[in-house]
A and B are shown apart, each in its own frame.
Chain A
Amino acid sequence: MSAPAGAHPDALAALLARRLGAIDPALAADLDIIEPAVADLPRLETVSTPPPTLAVLGASRRAIGLLEAVAARTPWRVRAASPESHDPREMTELALRPEVAAVLVGAGDPPGPDERGWLDDLAGLVGAVTRRRPELKVVLAGPIASRNAWAEGAGRPFDGTQPRIIEGPPLGLRSGPDEPLREILENLLPDSGDARQTAVRALLSLADTLDRRLELIDIGLTGGLRAMATPGVADQGPAAVAVRTANAALLPLEIDDAAVDAVLAWTTGSLDRHRMGDRLLDLRAQPWADASGDGARLRLAAARAAMTRLAQQTQDIGGMASPDVTIVSGGAFAVAPPRAVALAVADTIRRPGATQLAVDHARLLGPIGTIDDPDERRGLLADLADDLLAPLGSLLVVGNVPAGRRNTARVGRLTLDGDRHGRHDLSAGDVAFVDLPPGDQALATLEFRDSVRVGHRARRVAVPVSGGIAGLAVDLRDVPLRLPDRRDRRRAALAAIGELAWPGDER
């Protein structure tokens, strides 16, 4: 059961206990899930917190670009300024804002010709800010603290004894420091047990328990997450690559024209920019409201825009082979129709290959990740494995599909063998949903006249698929997806595909 933020967990627990008692009183009594006692049961709780703000100050626009690219792959909300675009008063104002929790400051090492003139000003400015805000954390990426102006501003030379001032890796001239700096920024975050952080731990344990490669895509109001976990091999434990980013929040903090256009690009309705802006403002203020009817479609359009941003920030994960299971999670998908969720993933995560789709319908991965002991976590996941995830079905994305002479011409055929049998014609540029109920297994054989790409290039590909509430989705559209630029044609194309996910949709 879910309830909007603000509802007390005790009220939810009591309600669940009452429902279980009404369905099976004996079981409820055996498990001690009765209303007075339910409040005393052990609980796993986690919360997704709003992202803190990071001020990124650079000696040049180039340095800002490099630093921002790294910071964008962290949960920090980034605000950037450089002497080329802001005057010292504006940069100081940014660093002194109450919501700014940390400053990342950088310059090339050695400084570029465009940076030398500004370097002393930048060092003096950040040094003075550290003196005025003793709680502010500062990450130095470049020769900032070695300047005399730093010591004048900070009131003391930098000697590395202040734990809140951290020396990061230097900034190269052509490429920025990536993982080491990202790690520093992640470690600066308050240890709040963020739901997306703990979900990665649960994903690792789940990959190990199921012995499957798992991908997790989470879109929430405060940020997004994409993680790929692989099970342990021999003596090595499971491993994961994860990117949490505030850029992939369901909606950006500032709803400007770009944010509105990004959502409008995935809608089939006739809202203008202003009305769409109003809807997005209300969606951000009350993300759990208006979840049916038009609101459900709007939410999925916003989720697609967020997943597009997430895919752009996680191209390293996107370049990996298809996982065995792709898990979608987060409020954006919590109440959407299953086929609409599958289609949203197919629209935005364009990776040729086959994967099983599942949804973290009860949002359990985050709370389970709060268990510190990996063995205990694995044990709980093994117990819950059958109910933890709701199977949506399987998604087959086929790349390099040869175009037919006509749009509707058959370019290939799908044959299912297993719990379900059947043959289906495939057309280029189409998405086909085939009914395959939860629990059913089948071998899907795809045959084409020319070679296609489903993980590898071949004319005939056979992949095992699993059923789910959305069935089997076969996507024969371009990889990456190309939609018409003209809005009316784009809307028509989206509406045609959307009919598969939103039956009875008049738009």
Chain B
Amino acid sequence: MSVQGDAGSAGAATAARPPIDRAGLAVIARRPVLVSPVDAFFRLHPGDRPLVQAGEAVGRGQPILEHHRDPRTIVVAGPVGEDGTAVPGDRWQGSPGEASKADGEGEVKPGGELLFRSGNRWRVAGGDRPDTLEVPFGGVVHDVQPGTGVTIRTTSSAVLGRSALAGPTWGRLHVATGPDGELRAQHVDVGAAGAIIVAGARMDAEALTRARAVGIRGVIVSALGIKEQRDFLASERRGRAAVHGLPPFGILVLDGAARRPIASSVMAVFEAAEGSMVAIVGDPPALVIDDPSVSLPKPAPGLVRVRSGPLAGAEGTFAGLAGPRRFPAGVTLEAAFVRFGGRPPVAIPIGDLERFT
């Protein structure tokens, strides 16, 4: 990092400075490597049907909700229900051909959820081809809100990310490249089919498409650009709308959009959990390590990571607060000394640092 004024020559200047104050680590932003328990939320849209009840134990792969791949509003005239006393939120099951004549699929029984009644006609959210969503890890159903969502709680540990795209999904964890690597399309190996791969610092849209095509179930990446996100989500929408749908696939973005390596503390967890069953969930964006037998490492105390700026991704040891310092563009910021390897400490704005707990 190029730093103006006294900060730039911090290494040389420290000889004349008073001894470094090692207190003050608490003002550096804290980032937990592992969290437990995790309450994962699975969205229920109008027309979707929960298949579980609160308090019920669920195992990995068990269907927890039913949703329609082609949701639409169905208009049903006249009374609905056994005695015509149906209320919004109740389920509705049509007779074969009732609402599917236009599709020429008279044998399909449309179903859905009553939305509201107006003018003696019910509006129903439903469709013809229900799919199920399977829970990607074992746990207990914590809450079910029809029309809103299902919450599943697990006591497993999870690595929190910045965002998750698509999913949920699960598979065995496979570390495909180093923390600073960038997995290209030609390096996506069919041997990783069924796995969730750790793909390093960044991945482009072509590699993501190939990963899905060869049967990889998920990708963990440090950064994913806005263009790659849009390309992937557009491809996901097209795939979901297709007749046969798509197998589960998810992307967990750990840090953000600009390229940077995976933090060593997080990478150590991935390496320890390699080969275990893991799951990517979207809310919260996290990788759930669904294997209690794995011994997960703890981060080293005093380790800090630069999360933005020219040194983004670099890791070092906290060496005390440096006080207000002047940085490029004439900006004065609170700074901390960080020692990278055996080199003299460098002053870095504390806003650019994070520590792991």
B69 proximal to A (CB < 8 A): no
Q: Which of B26, B88, B351 contacts A291 (CB 8 A)?
A: B351
Residues on B with beta carbons closer than 8 Å to the beta carbon of A274: 225-227
Instruction: Let me know if A336 and B24 touch, CB within 8 A.
Output: no
Partner-binding segment picked from A4-12, A173-181, A229-237: A4-12
In A6-23, which residues have CB < 8 Å from any B CB?
6-8, 10-12, 15, 18
Residues on B with beta carbons closer than 8 Å to the beta carbon of A3: 27-29, 334, 350-351
- Whole-angstrom distance between the Cβ of A185 and the nearest chain B Cβ: 23
Instruction: Let me know if A282 and B258 touch, CB within 8 A.
Output: yes
Partner-binding segment picked from A138-146, A149-157, A418-426: A149-157
B89 proximal to A (CB < 8 A): yes
Q: How large is the interface on A (under 10, 10 to 19, 20 to 34, 35 or more residues)?
A: 35 or more
Instruction: Give Cα distance in the complex from A222 to B159, angstroms.
Output: 26
Q: Which of A7, A255, A281, A336 contacts B331 (CB 8 A)?
A: A336
A487 proximal to B (CB < 8 A): no
Q: Which of A87, A132, A503 contacts B88 (CB 8 A)?
A: A132
- Whole-angstrom distance between the Cβ of B12 and the nearest chain A Cβ: 21
Instruction: Let me know if A12 and B27 touch, CB within 8 A.
Output: yes
> Contact string, A354-391, partner B, CB cutoff 8 A, digits 1/0?
00000000000000000000000000000000000000
Instruction: Let me know if A277 and B257 touch, CB within 8 A.
Output: yes
Interface of A is mostly: helix
Instruction: Give Cα distance in the complex from A278 to B225, angstroms.
Output: 6
Residues on A with beta carbons closer than 8 Å to the beta carbon of B123: 88-89, 121, 124-125
B47 proximal to A (CB < 8 A): yes
Instruction: Let me know if A277 and B73 touch, CB within 8 A.
Output: no
Residues on A with beta carbons closer than 8 Å to the beta carbon of B41: 98
Q: Which of B72, B226, B329 contacts A277 (CB 8 A)?
A: B226
In B24-45, which residues have CB < 8 Å from any A CB?
24, 26-30, 41, 45
Residue on B nearest A155 in the bound complex, by CB: B87
Residues on B with beta carbons closer than 8 Å to the beta carbon of A8: 26
Instruction: Let me know if B309 and A292 touch, CB within 8 A.
Output: yes
Q: How large is the interface on B (under 10, 10 to 19, 20 to 34, 35 or more residues)?
A: 35 or more
Instruction: Let me know if B329 and A87 touch, CB within 8 A.
Output: no
> Contact string, A87-127, partner B, CB cutoff 8 A, digits 1/0?
11100110011100000000000000000000011011101
Residues on B with beta carbons closer than 8 Å to the beta carbon of A286: 256, 307-308, 351
Residues on B with beta carbons closer than 8 Å to the beta carbon of A2: 334
Q: Which of B28, B327, B329, B352 contacts A7 (CB 8 A)?
A: B28
Residues on A with beta carbons closer than 8 Å to the beta carbon of B146: 132
Residue on B nearest A122 in the bound complex, by CB: B118
Known contacts A89-B115, A286-B307, A289-B352; is A131 also within 8 Å of B331 by CB? no
Instruction: Give chain A's interface residues, CB within 8 Å of chain B.
Output: 1-8, 10-12, 15, 18, 87-89, 92-93, 96-98, 120-121, 123-125, 127-129, 131-133, 149, 152-153, 155, 255, 274, 277-279, 281-282, 285-286, 288-297, 335-337, 502-503, 505
Contacts A4-B350, A153-B116, A281-B256 known; list 12 others, CB within 8 Å: A4-B29, A11-B27, A89-B46, A120-B118, A124-B118, A125-B116, A277-B225, A286-B256, A286-B308, A291-B333, A293-B310, A297-B329
A selection of 17 A-B contacts at a CB cut-off of 8 Å is A6-B30, A15-B321, A87-B72, A88-B116, A89-B125, A96-B46, A128-B116, A132-B89, A153-B116, A274-B227, A277-B227, A282-B308, A288-B29, A289-B351, A293-B309, A296-B328, A335-B332
Instruction: Give chain B's interface residues, CB within 8 Å of chain A.
Output: 23-24, 26-30, 41, 45-47, 71-73, 87-89, 115-119, 123, 125, 145-149, 162, 225-227, 256-258, 307-310, 321, 327-334, 349-352
Closest 4 CB pairs of A and B: A292-B327, A11-B26, A128-B88, A277-B226
